[in-house]
Amino acid sequence: MAELSVMSYVGAFIAVAIMLSIGTVILGNVSVNCAALPGGPTTGWEGQCESANVSTQSAYALLVISLIVIAAVVILSVVRMLQ
């Protein structure tokens, strides 16, 4: 019974790790071409666009931290189950 539970934790962790890594790779490099905005630099839209690009990339970089937290929880759960 404990082996089945450990395998389900490991399988869930692998699935979450794959999803988060794919999301980090794809969405972490997302950016908008801010130079193509209408109005040019006089409207201030380019600065807002660049700020949004940085915020988006930073948010998806935090997925790595969440993966580390999930890994720690899974490892501690498995160690606790094996005792």
- Dihedral (CA of 39, 42, 48, 49) sign: positive
Is the confidence at residue 47, as pLDDT, over 60? yes
Element at 70 (helix H, strand E): helix 45-82
Which range marks the domain in which residue 33 is found? 2-82
pLDDT in tens, 32-43: 777 776 766 667
pLDDT in tens, 48-67: 887 887 887 777 777 777 77
Of the pLDDT bands very low, low, confident and very high (cuts 50, 70, 90), residue 1 is low
Dihedral angle, C-alpha 73, 75, 80, 83, nearest 10 °: 180
pLDDT in tens, 14-26: 788 788 777 777 7
Is the confidence at residue 77, as pLDDT, over 60? yes
Q: How many domains does the chain have?
A: 1
Is the confidence at residue 44, as pLDDT, over 70? yes
Quote the pLDDT of residue 39.
67
Does residue 22 sit in helix, strand or coil?
A: helix
Q: Of the candidates 70, 74, 76, 71, which has an alpha carbon nearest to the alpha carbon of residue 7?
A: 74
Quote the pLDDT of residue 28.
65
Rounded to whole angstroms, how far apart are CA atoms 37 and 81? 56
Structure tokens at 22: 């794919």
